[in-house]
Amino acid sequence: MPSARLVALTSHQLGLRLPEALELYVTAMGYPPGTAQQRAPMWVGHMSRPGWRCVAALDDEDRMLGISYGYVGAPKQWWHEQVHKGLATALPPPAVRLWLEDYFELTELHVRPMAQGRGLGEALLRGLLAEPAPAGRVLLSTPEGPSRAWRLYLRMGFHELLRNYRFSGDPRRFAVLGRELPL
């Protein structure tokens, strides 16, 4: 496998590489063709959110092997509202407030299948959440089931907050995981 280097990308830099990043995302997630065009406006919208950060893994020829990004979560954002609804069924109100009052939403973290299993996911996670910590906690959602991502998050100290949750518009089951920052 080619070597990889981590680089922080500005929203402008990711915008220039958005087709490549979305192709990586679709490939890593096994999504059907057309998903990239559907997700592009969402990714562009995320880039303007407070606290947005992005880290990519690039090979020696500047090809993207991995991508991670997120931002500070807040009420009235779609994911925040969905997670609030789910957590309210699983945790007491004070715990829901605690998790959702000061958090960084790890929105995307993907590694090309041919580059998986070599530590890039952990490197991307550490790079994205490096000091200074973007918030007091980090939250994410990941599809249920055994996967490299699931094992990575548990190894990195994430806790299960919600299991078998269905986001509106998606038939798959997800888990919501969280942990205190810094890593």
CA dihedral 177, 178, 179, 183 (to 10 degrees): 80
Catalytic residue among 25, 69, 103, 153: 153
Q: For the sheet containing 64-72, what is the strand order? A: 4-8, 53-59, 64-72, 103-111, 137-143, 174-180, 159-165
Query: Is the bond preceding 92 in cis, omega lying within 30 degrees of 0?
Result: no
> What does residue 5 show for φ and ψ, rounded to 5 degrees?
-125, 145
Do the Cβ atoms of 11 and 57 come closer than 8 Å? no
Distance CA 52, CA 32 (A): 27
Do the Cβ atoms of 75 and 69 come closer than 8 Å? no
Question: Quick one: tokens of 114?
Answer: 């041919």
Question: Quick one: tokens of 1?
Answer: 């496998």
Do the Cβ atoms of 137 and 158 come closer than 8 Å? no
Amino acid identity of residue 32, one-letter, is P
Is 153 noted as a catalytic residue in this protein? Answer: yes
Active site residues: 153
